[in-house]
Amino acid sequence: MANLKEVKQRINSVISTQQITKAMKMVSAAKLRRAQDKIIQMRPFSQKLTAILNNVSASSEASTDLVYAEKREVKKVLLVPITSDKGLCGAFNTNVMKATNLAIRTQFAGAEVTVMPIGKKSFEFYKKSKFAQVDQFANLFHDLSIENIRVAANYAMDAFAAGEFDQVVLVFNEFKNVATQIIRTEQFLPMAPVESEEAPVETDYILEPSRDFIIEELVPKALRVQFYKAILESNASEHGARMTAMDKATENAGDLLKELKLMYNRTRQAAITNEILEIVAGAEALGGK
């Protein structure tokens, strides 16, 4: 059985850890509110932009050949795993890496894979792998702004348009609620046909300067919004996952404290009993003399 000093040290250590996890939970809760507001505001904008593009595309029988919609034989793939810069968020980062590796083994088996990690954790993981890396966007979360995200999106779009990659895929956590994040492996390029839950509105639009020009302007904007939305989804999911993980860690620390305090009291009681026995034995020995 551990002595009183060792048990006391463990109790103090657990109390300190519990204070840290409580503080981290509160910080994540504050950040989550801001991140959640951003993604909630972004979703309607993304859906409306898609609906506009859908309606304009359906308004005429003319066709536009877009480089971003060009389908090719998949020989070169750019995978974009989006993780966090920090840990202590449960399986948040691990799930992204697992989904990325699964896609490499199954969907893109035999293709030349390049990884463009976003987030320190994915960068560190794939730095040790055999795959080529595009690492200039690994620290994107250090300054999470629309300008920096646009640069990353433009890189992927320009590389696809130049024929450097035949497909670009985003792997990220979609935010559902504080306790639930859903892994998404989403094709970014070539862009899929624009779909909407509602039927296209058949309206005789007057388009200036031309329908093709408007679609060519809308498509890159829609792609950048899609990329930005994936980043915001991951950011909100990270704070939700960390808040949940720290809440669970705080509860576990409380349970451990109860066990340690019980052990401390038992150890202290045993020590007191031993001291009493020694005093009684000494008194009896002196009385026998």
Over its length of 289 residues, how does the chain's per-residue pLDDT go in tens digits?
568 888 899 999 999 999 999 999 999 999 999 999 999 999 888 888 877 776 666 554 444 567 888 889 999 999 999 999 999 999 999 999 999 999 999 999 989 999 999 999 999 999 989 899 999 999 999 988 889 999 999 999 999 999 999 999 999 999 998 889 999 999 999 886 555 455 555 556 666 777 777 777 888 898 999 999 999 999 999 999 999 999 999 999 999 999 999 999 988 888 888 888 888 888 788 876 5
Domain-wise residue ranges, the chain: 4-22+245-284, 25-244
Q: What is the pTM of this model?
A: 0.84
CA distances from 100 to 105, 154, 170, 229, 263 (A): 9, 22, 9, 19, 46
Question: How many Cβ atoms sit within 10 Å of the Cβ of residue 204?
Answer: 6
The CATH homologous superfamily for domain 25-244 is ATP synthase, F1 complex, gamma subunit (3.40.1380.10)
Same topology, domains 4-22+245-284 and 25-244? Answer is no
Residues marked as catalytic: 89
Joined tokens for residue 128: 């040790």
Joined tokens for residue 61: 């029988």
Question: What gap in Å lies between CA 223 and CA 86, rounded to an integer?
Answer: 28
Question: What gap in Å lies between CA 262 and CA 282, rounded to an integer?
Answer: 30
For the sheet with 76-81, list strands across it: 132-133, 112-115, 76-81, 167-177, 180-189
**Contacts by 257-260 with C-beta closer than 8 Å and gap 24+?**
257/11, 257/14, 257/15, 257/18, 260/7, 260/10, 260/11, 260/14
Contact 225, 154 (CB under 8 A): no
Joined tokens for residue 72: 């090719």
Give me the pLDDT at residue 100, please: 96
The answer to whether domain 4-22+245-284 has CATH 1.10.287.80 is yes
Give me the pLDDT at residue 215, please: 76
Closest Cα to residue 170, out of 189, 151, 155?
A: 189
Contact 113, 189 (CB under 8 A): no
Give me the pLDDT at residue 63, please: 46
